[in-house]
Amino acid sequence: RYVAVGNEPFLKSYNGSFINITFPALKNMQRALDEAGVMVKAVVPLNADVYNSPEKTPVPSAGSFRKDINTLMVSIVNFLHRNDAPFVVNIYPYLSLYQNANFPLNFSFFDGGSKPVFDKGLVYTNVFDANFDTLVWSLRKAGVPDMKIIVGEIGWPTDGDKRANVKYAQKFYDGFLKKMAKNVGTPLRPGRMDAYLFALIDENQKSVLPGRFERHWGLFTYDGKPKFPMDLSGNGQDRYLLGVEGVQYLPSQWCVFDKDLKDRYRELPASVNYACSNADCTALGYGCSCNGLSHDGNISYAFNMYFQTMDQDVRACSFGGLAKIVTANASQGGCVFPVQILSASERVVPLRVLAASLVLSVAVFILM
């Protein structure tokens, strides 16, 4: 069992905000756990950008911890190693593709369709193995060559970018899960490895500072529906995962742009900007699931997302009189205009469930 101290505190985008406090926090947490007598280890989940290889020699064996945090990282990994705690790293092959327009697409997957990388007699056919072994080399150079590594997060987004889609996500997971099932490990560290898929469900309020795809890592949609077939056992028998049962929705109604008011187009930019500043419009981006909408369709999508985010409050479908509520499904092609789910406070509990809950409550009361 582990306790995570922060999450990716040394991201370059944080500009060093957590450099001086992370290691002390880690030590304090481990001390508290030890004093409590629990067999739990404190760890710091880190992004794969804490280590790298030089541009001139982009191979795993040239890897080491980032120069600006090298001394700190050496201290942290040695502390973790002394406490028999693992190095937890979040590896996202998708980000290699997203951040580099020239990155070979097939090197992101596991079917060997890309030109391999050769390094000290080892052959790399995918970026995950290369990334993982760059970390192994970094740990070697830090004096802990046998340190256990856990992949704390790995996944592929399904929207928000032209290469964040269901097709590529399914391909990535199929390859990765088959690899995990075979326990082949990586060229430098063969054998079983531990990894956690990210994420279970989409997060429509997550920051999009790293990219619009950030809200679409889920294996399930916002309402608990599986996005694509997959086999978690890695045996290649893909089938849809079991979705959430009993999901209750708000009424089947949508907020759309009133096309009879096209003479008021000049008023629309401010309204659309307001809607998308307070709701999730990331599916409208280039190459995304709603990229093919017309001009009016884009407006309606933005209006509806805000309307649903506000739990279908009629005041949220006004926009100065530019919008109207309709009962015909506004979805178009592969672009889904969602209907909000009921919040916990509004949910209707089936009578049989309510009765069972009452019986259980009475039983517990009697036992007390």
The span from the CA of 187 to the CA of 130, in Å, is: 9
Rg (CA), the chain: 24
Residues shown for the chain: 368
List the beta bridge partners of residue 118: 123
Catalytic residue among 8, 203, 214, 346: 8
The span from the CA of 331 to the CA of 289, in Å, is: 11
- Amino acid at the residue 336: V
What are all long-range contacts of 187-194, with beta carbons under 8 Å and residues at least 24 apart?
187/122, 187/123, 187/124, 187/129, 187/133, 188/60, 188/122, 188/132, 188/133, 188/136, 188/137, 189/132, 189/133, 189/136, 189/149, 193/132, 193/149, 193/150, 193/151, 194/150, 194/151
**Residue among 21, 125, 19, 5 at smallest CA distance from 65:** 19
Residue 301 CA to chain centroid, in angstroms?
A: 23
121 phi-psi bin (left φ>0, alpha ψ -120 to 50, beta other): left
- Strand boundaries in the chain, DSSP class E: 2-4, 41-43, 46-47, 51-52, 64-65, 87-90, 117-119, 122-124, 149-154, 194-197, 254-257, 323-326
From residue 9, give the alpha-carbon distance in Å to each of 63, 95, 216.
20, 18, 22
Torsions phi, psi for 324 (to 5 deg): -150, 155
Active site residue 245: no
Dihedral angle sign, alpha carbons of residues 203, 208, 209, 214: positive
Exposure string (b/e) for 37-48, b if CB count within 10 Å is 16 or more? eeebbbbbbbbb
List the beta bridge partners of residue 164: 161
Active site residue 153: yes
Catalytic residue among 55, 153, 203, 245: 153
Catalytic residues: 8, 153
